[in-house]
Amino acid sequence: MGENIGAAARAMQNFGLSDLRLIKPRDGWPNAKAETMAAGAFENMPAPKVFETINDAIADLHTVYATTAREHDQVKHIFTPDKAAEDAHENIANNKSVGFIFGAERTGLRSEEISLCQGIITIPTNPNFSSLNLGQSVLLVCYEWMKASNMQKARHLKTGDSTIATQEEIGHFLDRLMTDLDAGNFFRSEGLRPTMERNITNIFTRNELTEQEVRTLQGILSALRGNKTTHQ
Amino acid sequence: MGENIGAAARAMQNFGLSDLRLIKPRDGWPNAKAETMAAGAFENMPAPKVFETINDAIADLHTVYATTAREHDQVKHIFTPDKAAEDAHENIANNKSVGFIFGAERTGLRSEEISLCQGIITIPTNPNFSSLNLGQSVLLVCYEWMKASNMQKARHLKTGDSTIATQEEIGHFLDRLMTDLDAGNFFRSEGLRPTMERNITNIFTRNELTEQEVRTLQGILSALRGNKTTHQ
């Protein structure tokens, strides 16, 4: 289907791939529906190559992964998409050319086609609702491809221009807060005071507050105290 | 768009999720195009709940992840989908309810909406071709959710007898704080107010506050205000 070719091209471009090969496209090539679905992806990649047979399409490759809905009864390495992506990157690091093959929407890949491949990719899904369409399968494999390419930190705290506050800065704020709370008779029982102070301290230290945020908290205290002064 | 709701439902079912919440769906609800795109997914899940505001939609949740196309200029933990899925599973292992939020197709989430969330998910893509549609974003997050489903809990917050505060409890505290700050002339410029409110909100949402801590914060506000009253 033209739509699937467009969705595949878009997913490839999203995740940094550009060598698209088509094997006997049902709706012919080029295809207007593919253009629409691609949302501009074809403009950023070389023209797809069209082949008559799978053998021709993979002739120059060393390692080919066949994406299938179920584990076929063939003696073959079976990968989840993430493991296949890692394996593909290792192969490339060893000067091999790799490819990922996807079958047609309804029929998938035939057993003879799968037998040409070095590995099988199956995407784990809910067994009670497992149908992924072709575009979704391509998206997930391309996504894992890019993930395996990235060595970037997976989680970080974005702090903009501000840096994380030091213990001292947080300490100054907490000292002021405790003093103000004392003045407001917050600590009704001296026996409970140590626990309450510890609980309050935890609220503000568990977080990684930025310097700017500590200044904001200082401003909040001033505003709340200023409020008092105004009305005195 | 109805189509996006259907694609989201299908992706959720593919990867074992079923609690779909809609906030002011543009095309109304129920929706025929959603049914078509869902390819039967709705038959396997409870009826989606429809909400008027994001606050209502997340009121009973403890941890909410906002999926955004770019890193916003807010002090917030930023996750890739896999790390967010791990984090979400850890939170659930600690008896918290979690949610993933996605914005509308073109506009995404507004800054105020993002400030309500505990974390941001950005999906790493090719910087030269980064546009993912809503259905694709949901697919990738749901896929990572299922991948992370079997992970062991590696981090947990020790909360003692107290449970993590819900969004609603934190919201009540923030409402009171903003009112008190207003009374204290904290917001000197109306132009800066939205940014300042967002920054303050981020200080208290990035953390995982316990119910007890929110009560303590409420007590702090009362003490600081009471401080004022006492001296009047």
Pairwise CB contact (< 8 Å): A225 & B227: yes
Q: Which residue of B has its CA nearest to A176?
A: B224
User: Which residue from A14, A126, A152 is facing B132, i.e. has the nearest CB?
Assistant: A14
- Tally Cβ neighbours within 10 Å of residue A77: 13
Amino acid at B189: S
Which residues of B are less than 8 Å from A189 in CB distance?
none
Which residues of B are less than 8 Å from A155 in CB distance?
77-80, 83, 87
Task: Print burial letters for A123-162: b (CB count within 10 Å at least 16), e (below 16).
Answer: bebbeebeebbbbbbbbbbbbbbbbbbeeeebeeeebeee
Pairwise CB contact (< 8 Å): B231 & A228: yes
User: Which residue from A13, A126, A216 is facing B199, i.e. has the nearest CB?
Assistant: A216
Angle formed by the axes of helices A211-231 and B167-183, nearest 10°: 50
User: Which residue from A128, A152, A232 is facing B44, i.e. has the nearest CB?
Assistant: A128
- Which of B72, B198, B220, B229 is the best substitution to test chain A (most A C-beta atoms within 10 A)? B220
What pTM did the predictor assign? 0.75
Q: Which residue of A has its CA nearest to B131?
A: A14
Which residues of B are less than 8 Å from A40 in CB distance?
129
For residue A187, CA distances in Å to A43, A228, B16, B209 come to 67, 19, 49, 21
Nearest to B96 by CA among B58, B43, B143: B58
- State how far residue A83 is from chain B, nearest Cα, in angstroms: 12
pLDDT value, residue A163: 79
pLDDT value, residue A158: 66
Amino acid at A69: A
ipTM for the complex? 0.71
Nearest to A187 by CA among B204, B158, B227: B227
Pairwise CB contact (< 8 Å): B216 & A224: no
- State how far residue A97 is from chain B, nearest Cα, in angstroms: 21
**pLDDT tens-digit profile, chain B (232 residues):** 899 999 999 999 999 999 999 999 999 999 999 999 999 999 989 999 999 999 999 999 999 999 987 767 777 888 999 999 999 998 888 888 999 999 987 888 998 899 999 899 999 999 889 889 999 999 999 999 999 985 534 444 556 677 888 989 999 999 999 999 998 889 888 888 998 998 899 888 877 788 999 999 999 998 887 655 433 3
User: Which residue from A139, A185, A228 is facing B228, i.e. has the nearest CB?
Assistant: A228
Q: Which residue of B has its CA nearest to A186?
A: B223
Q: Which residue of A has its CA nearest to B160?
A: A199
- State how far residue A79 is from chain B, nearest Cα, in angstroms: 13
Q: Which residue of A has its CA nearest to B185?
A: A223
Rounded CA separation B120/A228 (Å): 38
Rounded CA separation B94/B2 (Å): 35
Angle formed by the axes of helices A134-149 and B134-147, nearest 10°: 70
Chain centroid to CA A77: 25
A134-189 pLDDT, tens digit each: 999 999 999 999 999 874 334 556 667 777 788 788 889 999 999 999 988 898 88
Rounded CA separation B124/B119 (Å): 16
φ/ψ (deg, to 5) at A170: -65, -40
- State how far residue B77 is from chain A, nearest Cα, in angstroms: 5
pLDDT value, residue A194: 87
Rounded CA separation A154/B122 (Å): 10
pLDDT value, residue B229: 41
Nearest to A51 by CA among A21, A28, A29, A26: A21
pLDDT value, residue A216: 93
A208-218 pLDDT, tens digit each: 788 899 999 99
User: Which residue from B39, B132, B183 is facing A227, i.e. has the nearest CB?
Assistant: B183
